[in-house]
Amino acid sequence: MNAIEVRGLRKTYGGHTAVAGVDLTVAEGEVFALLGPNGAGKTTTTEILEGHRRRDGGEVRVLGVDPATADRRWRADIGIVLQTATDAADLTVREMVGQFAGYYPDPRGVDEVIDLCGLTEKAGARISSLSGGQRRRVDVALGIVGRPKLLFLDEPTTGFDPEVRRQFWDLVRSLAAEGTTILLTTHYLDEAEALAGRLAVIAAGRIVAEGTPRTVGGRDRAPATVSWVDAGGQHHLNTTDPVRAVTELAARGRVSELQVRQPSLEDVYLNLIGAKA
Amino acid sequence: MTTTTARPRPQARPAAPLPSTLANGLARGAAEVKMFFRSKEAVIFTFSFPAFVLLLLGSIFDTGEAMPGGASMSQVFAASMIAYGILNTAFTSVGVGIAADREDGTLKRLRGTPITASAYFIGKIILVAVATVAEVALLLAVGVVAFGLELPTAPSTWLTFGWILLLSVIACTLVGIAASGLAKSGKNAATVLNLPVIALQFTSGVFVAISSLPDVMVKVAAFFPVRWMGQGFRSVLLPDSMAVGEVAGSWELPVVALVLGAWCVVGLLLCLLTFRWTERKAG
Ligand SMILES: Nc1ncnc2c1ncn2[C@@H]1O[C@H](COP(=O)(O)OP(=O)(O)O)[C@@H](O)[C@H]1O
Ligand SMILES: [Mg+2]
């Protein structure tokens, strides 16, 4: 069974179409990234799948159920990390995690979750005293304390410093290794590339490409650029067979500044979302 | 030697029963009470405010001369202020608290878990009960110490105090929950909710003796619970001779019960009709 199945999802706010016919399939156990710039419709799509917002059209199945009519049992199987929250400032980390553990039928141990999220030193601290990155890890702790089958992470690492981001990526990988299905939204390419087995690029409410980080947007088939300098000056050659081009070049004699450049995920992405680099 | 253990996949576990609404409600209540008393601004500026007003206005009215019926003006005032104390903890605090829960993401986060809405409400009711009992105790203490208010001794009088308190709290809490939806954001909730509170204090004979109010004002205020709350608490905390100062010349306890009971029903209906998990702008 697929964890998430979406067909023709639509959502408009007033006259503005935020999601314009999105199709998505996420298999069980997969880490799937929804990659897109601000305002692309990532949060709207995610929150419809979480049952937080109503859709205006399309078919949605999350763990086999329509989120608009889902019950408590379904909520026990999903974990949600929202894009923003500033609640519970006057509770400590352990009090908050303990409270939420009590809402689930089969929670993880409170200290286990706190440890997993790297918050052991802060377990007794008021949430209001935490840094932005630590607060975000509390959000994650609350999202995974119920041992979800499916975890939603909406821009989980925005504002993290590089080291904390690496730690967070390790946490996501260990959750994935346990079999948790993860839907991640991000506008960081390196995050999608590091974590996702598959990804979809969303822009202006539409999925513009889908695939693995290696193949998305035809990245594996796109022409490479071979460039070099010789007596005649600087040369650039776009070719789908860069190996042959370099071999021929070698046969012709000395060249300098030889470079073969294949499109990076960033090139593909910027091209897809229509922001020419 | 190495042993390999099969990794327990989440879906392999048997379905445990969902926790009960009551257990979750009690946990919410504990968290609500902790958060309330840990927030210094709430305790100092919201919780202590009625006692502060009582001290201030009580001292201004403390002319020394007795009113018709024997008690002093500041004693009448101290008894009436209990109504304001309840309004403050049950109506304003709940209304502002829920609007804030809606705005800061508390409600949205809860809604993403298997908790029931009833468990959330049980938490609020526990908070209101604890805060109200503390508030009333504080006001009674100020009334007794500063203005010579005499606490009743007969158990039947305390019984009356009990049911008036209970009906007042239920009515004010339910209307507060419903009113939380009126405020567009948590920030302006306090302003929006204080308007009817202040208006009702003046027109219901809490800040000003009811005998000195214009007739129309008294008639309009009679439709709202505050007037009857104040009258009920005066009946309990003042000598019976003071009933001459009331509109009907008596305490009218059956009417108090009727009006407060009716507001409990109205409050419940308003709640069911208007409660929203999220802010109006969120889709
Ligand atoms: N509650 C809302 N009301 C009105 N417009 C909204 C609302 N939420 C999002 N939008 C609009 O819908 C579009 C998509 O927003 P969003 O889903 O938040 O994108 P992302 O998460 O990719 O940044 C944006 O143009 C945004 O302004
Ligand atoms: Mg977003």
Do the Cβ atoms of B224 and B200 come closer than 8 Å? yes
Q: Which of B18, B36, B41, B126 to mutate to test the interface with A (most CBs of A within 10 A)?
A: B18
What pLDDT is stored for residue B278 in this prediction?
A: 60
Q: Are residues A109 and A240 in the same domain?
A: no
Q: Are residues A210 and A226 in the same domain?
A: no
Does the beta-carbon distance from B10 to A54 stay under 8 Å? Answer: no
Domain boundaries, position A213: 2-217
Does the beta-carbon distance from B114 to A54 stay under 8 Å? Answer: no
Q: pLDDT of B30-43, one tens digit each?
A: 999 999 889 888 78
Q: pLDDT of A76-105, one tens digit each?
A: 999 999 988 778 778 999 999 999 999 999
Under 8 Å CB-to-CB from A226, ≥6 apart: which residues? A236, A237, A239, A242, A245, A246, A249, A258, A259, A260, A261
Q: Are residues A237 and A128 in the same domain?
A: no
Question: How are beta strands A57-62 and A2-13 bridged, if at all?
Answer: antiparallel
Q: Are residues A227 and A202 in the same domain?
A: no
Q: Are residues A148 and A230 in the same domain?
A: no
pLDDT more than 70, % of chain B: 91
What pLDDT is stored for residue B2 in this prediction?
A: 43
Mean pLDDT of B254-265: 94
Q: pLDDT of B142-155, one tens digit each?
A: 999 988 888 888 89
Q: Which phi and psi angles does B173 have, rounded to 5°?
A: -65, -50
pTM of the model: 0.84
Q: pLDDT of A164-201, one tens digit each?
A: 889 899 999 999 999 999 999 998 888 999 999 999 99
Q: Please give the tally of structural domains in chain A.
A: 2
Q: Which residue has the CA at smallest separation from atom 27 of ligand 1?
A: A39
User: Read out DSSP for A35-62?
Assistant: E--TTSSHHHHHHHHTTSS--SEEEEEE
What pLDDT is stored for residue B1 in this prediction?
A: 42
Q: pLDDT of A139-156, one tens digit each?
A: 999 999 999 999 999 999
Q: Are residues A159 and A235 in the same domain?
A: no
Q: Are residues A123 and A178 in the same domain?
A: yes
Q: Are residues A124 and A255 in the same domain?
A: no
Of A11, A80, A103, the CB nearest to B115: A103
Does the beta-carbon distance from A105 to B17 stay under 8 Å? Answer: yes
Q: pLDDT of B229-254, one tens digit each?
A: 999 999 998 888 888 888 888 899 99
Q: Are residues A130 and A254 in the same domain?
A: no
Q: Is A68 on the interface with B (CB under 8 A)?
A: no
Mean pLDDT of A4-29: 95
Q: Are residues A85 and A15 in the same domain?
A: yes
At A266, the amino acid letter reads E
Domain of A36, CATH number, reads 3.40.50.300
Residue B90 has pLDDT above 80, yes or no: yes
Residue B13 has pLDDT above 70, yes or no: no
Please give the Cα distance from A251 to A248 (Å, whole number).
Answer: 5
